[in-house]
Structure 1
């Protein structure tokens, strides 16, 4: 593995850990809750309709809101970093 490959892997892993909460905030999953009129609000509405009136615990919307509210846990950061590592390997 060359130096540039190693740097791409490290940048991918670190970038996803930093970017995931920021991207979720832009979409509308904020620390204060789901922003009215945002893409997150649309996703929450669709999820609630699909499940019969509420957002199911453990659903994609629930997980994204959790990350938006409190950030990534250690396990989630490791998983996100792993995805970034794989993306770095593909570059």
Structure 2
């Protein structure tokens, strides 16, 4: 079980570190701003309409765009890797306890 837990932790940690920035870009939160016609543009529009015409600083859209534009800080990279690693360990333990391959 320790081997599979370790593999799950490494895969989860690396996955979170690599997949999160790629997922943000794919959703439309890019370094050049929110991409026209993307999910991010739709989310921004919905947020602006709901708040009376603007997107508030600190809102989900603002934070995601900030990360999409500037990348993630070292602290955020460590935190997302740790969360991914923890998820990998949990999923590995569940798979081991249920006999899943």
Fold shared by both chains (TM-score > 0.5): yes
Q: 2:22: which partner in 1?
A: 22
Distance 1:77 1:50 in 2: 31
**1:78 Cα deviation after fit:** 2.0
1:37 aligns with 2:53: no
Unmatched 5+ stretches in structure 2: 92-101
Q: 2:47: which partner in 1?
A: 47
Q: Alignment RMSD, CA only?
A: 1.2
**1:86 Cα deviation after fit:** 2.1
Distance 1:77 1:66 in 2: 14
TM-score between the two structures when normalised by the length of structure 1: 0.91
Q: 1:11: which partner in 2?
A: 11
| More moved, 30-39 vs 75-84 | 75-84
Unmatched 5+ stretches in structure 1: none
Q: Which has the larger radius of gyration?
A: 2
